[in-house]
Amino acid sequence: MSRPVRRRSRVATGVAAIGFAFIILPLIGLLSQVAWSRLWHDLTTTEAAAALRLSLVCSLAAATLAFVVGVPLAWVLARFEFPGRSAVRALTMLPMVLPPVVGGVGLLYAFGRTGFVGARLDQWFGIHLTFSTAGVILAESFVALPFLVITVEAAFRGLDRDLEDAAATLGASRREVIRRVTLPVAGPAIAAGVALAWARALGEFGATITFAGNIQGRTRTVPLAVYLFLQSDPEVAIALSLVLVAVSVAVLTALRGRWLVR
Amino acid sequence: MSLAATVQVQQGGFRLDVELTVASAETLVVVGANGAGKTTLLRTIAGLLPIDEGTIAADGVVLDDGGRIAVIPEARSVGYVFQDQRLFPHLSALDNVAFGLRAGGSSAAESRARARSELDAFGVGDCAHRRPGDLSGGQAQRVALARTFVTRPKVLLLDEPFTAIDAMARPMVRAVAFARATAIGCVTVLVTHDVGDAPSPDTSIIELVDGRIARRGRVADFTQV
């Protein structure tokens, strides 16, 4: 069956081109400013290298933390019936739409030295999260977690329950069914959720600078360094921006087929 | 092994109310229109759907007495071949068949060896290393049969197990399945649209209509219309 050929609307095509240009022009602007010959040098300056190293460590730790707490949270939201479930789900998604700086303020008054959790962490364990690398990881996890939960929960909901039933009739215990059927079948979605959470953590700015500050080698991640260097040394800022663009494109490429229609 | 079930279960507007017994090593054929309750009946026997009232017992052991599921599905030794196979998409045909043996505590090597010979018995040994997505409907159905038979269940539930298999291979697959059932000595409940799938004209048969047994008899009685 073939659809009747429609005459393309010139207006729609024109507006669509403007829409696409809106996305692509900043990217071209950025690429046009890259000092390609000095790129390696710019990225290996002490400050840039420190930011890259810190960002890598913190974003991986944040993605891991999001995975550890996010998969069980997604499971509960997908599989358990309890009063207020939709409210819990909505609140879990809140960091996706909340301005990150507001998230940072919230983190400050919860986990900061005078916050109701932070004060106890200080008192009992001597742990200070503000202005520390652990604080960066916490801030990044806060904004990244919903991306993982929303992806994994959809996978758990969409999973064919008959597969789990089939496994049970074959003698697999509840735990074995989860380990050997549910998690592997949901595996690609879990990997996608981790990748999204990682990419979001890597780009985190507002919550990090508010909660953890901007200390070189300790809390100054790549986005913070970009913001800082844009005033003092734009060439390094652009080089670091290019790294973030490359990572975003790589994640998008890895997730094609899941999100992108060919 | 014998099976005795008095099943009453309400699902939305549908009510299943069935009483049946299957003697040791016998087969019961269940026919009926779509929506008559055939699959619902199998799910209650497997323990995937709790019954509201009645009793399901295998060899006198109560599996479900209407108040609660007394024996959970994984402890029932019930083999269930689903109509749509429900093979595990992330495992090869071989690992699908080995799944139940692994769950039962057999070693990986032993499970795979037994899975391999079960696949051979059903004529799909050459598909061992393919994923379910790469199998034809008939091949997937045979793998599903192998996956269930290899666990040597005491109660075997077959939901349209031969429908997806092409006419050429069907007699062979049927023969293997019933020979295996006889060898294991299990009770078999066979849901089908085609009474020709029954192992013999003497096999007991019930017809479900709207969740109730409308007719009981022998397969031969149902074919002489």
Interface contact A170-B151, CB threshold 8 A: yes
Distance CA B46, CA B86 (A): 15
Whether the CB of B6 is below 8 Å from some CB of chain A: the reply is: no
- Give the residue carrying structure tokens 């806060």: A142
Residue B122, both tokens:
């059903």
- Please give the mean pLDDT across all residues of chain A: 91
| pLDDT band at residue B21 using 50, 70 and 90 as cut-offs | very high
| pLDDT band at residue B25 using 50, 70 and 90 as cut-offs | confident
Q: What's the pLDDT at A262?
A: 42
Task: Report how many domains make up chain A.
Answer: 1
Give the one of A166, A174, A176 whose C-beta lies nearest to B82's C-beta. A166
Which residues of A fall within a CB distance of 8 Å from B103? Answer: 167, 170-173, 176, 180
In a domain, A242, yes or no: no
Which residues of A fall within a CB distance of 8 Å from B82? Answer: 162, 166
Which residues of B fall within a CB distance of 8 Å from A176? Answer: 103
Which residues of A fall within a CB distance of 8 Å from B106? Answer: none
Which residues of A fall within a CB distance of 8 Å from B48? Answer: 165, 168-169
Whether the CB of B78 is below 8 Å from some CB of chain A: the reply is: yes
Residues 56-115 of A with CB under 8 A from B: none
DSSP A159: S
Encode chain B in three state secondary structure: CCEEEEEEEEECCEEEEEEEEECCCCEEEEEECCCCCHHHHHHHHHCCCCCCEEEEEECCEEEECCCCECCCHHHCCEEEECCCCCCCCCCCHHHHHHHHHHHCCCCHHHHHHHHHHHHHHCCCHHHCCCCHHHCCHHHHHHHHHHHHHCCCCCEEEEECCCCCCCCCCHHHHHHHHHHHHHHHCCEEEEECCCHHHCCCCCCEEEEEECCEEEEEEEHHHHHCC
Residue B225 has pLDDT above 80, yes or no: no
Across the A/B interface, how many CB contacts are shorter than 8 Å? 65
Taking residues B37-63, what's their average pLDDT? 91
- Domain boundaries, position A104: 58-219
Give the one of B89, B90, B100 whose C-beta lies nearest to A170's C-beta. B100
Interface contact B99-A168, CB threshold 8 A: no
What CATH number has the domain bearing residue A76?
1.10.3720.10
In a domain, A241, yes or no: no
Whether the CB of B116 is below 8 Å from some CB of chain A: the reply is: no
Q: What's the pLDDT at A127?
A: 86
DSSP per-residue string spanning A37-81: GGHHHHHTSHHHHHHHHHHHHHHHHHHHHHHHHHHHHHHHHHH--
Percent of chain B residues past pLDDT 90, beyond the cut: 71
Give the one of B74, B76, B79 whose C-beta lies nearest to A173's C-beta. B74
Taking residues B196-225, what's their average pLDDT? 89
Least confident of A30-44, A220-234, B66-80, B169-183: B66-80
Q: Given strand B212-218, what is the order of strands in its sheet?
A: B61-64, B53-58, B3-11, B14-22, B212-218, B204-209, B27-32, B187-191, B155-159, B78-81
Q: What's the pLDDT at B157?
A: 96
Q: What's the pLDDT at A261?
A: 46
In contact, A156 and A187? CB cutoff 8 Å: no
Pairing of strands B204-209, B212-218: antiparallel
Per-domain residue ranges of chain B: 3-77+153-223, 90-150
Q: What is the predicted ipTM?
A: 0.90
Q: What's the pLDDT at A6?
A: 63
Q: What's the pLDDT at B224?
A: 61
Whether the CB of A159 is below 8 Å from some CB of chain B: the reply is: no
Interface contact B99-A172, CB threshold 8 A: yes
Q: What's the pLDDT at A2?
A: 55
Nearest to B23 by CA among B187, B191, B134: B187
Q: How far is the alpha carbon of A156 from chain B, nearest alpha carbon, in Å?
A: 15
Residues 153-212 of B with CB under 8 A from A: none
Interface contact B73-A173, CB threshold 8 A: no
At the fourth CATH level, which superfamily is domain B3-77+153-223?
A: P-loop containing nucleotide triphosphate hydrolases (3.40.50.300)
Q: Which residues of B48-85 are buried (b: 16+ CB within 10 A; e: fewer)?
A: bbebeebbbbbeeeebbebeebbbebbebbbbbbbbeb
Residue segments in chain A with a per-residue pLDDT below the cut of 50:
260-262
Chain A: residue whose CA lies nearest to B78: A169
| pLDDT, tens only, A89-133 | 999 999 999 999 999 999 999 999 888 998 898 889 888 888 999
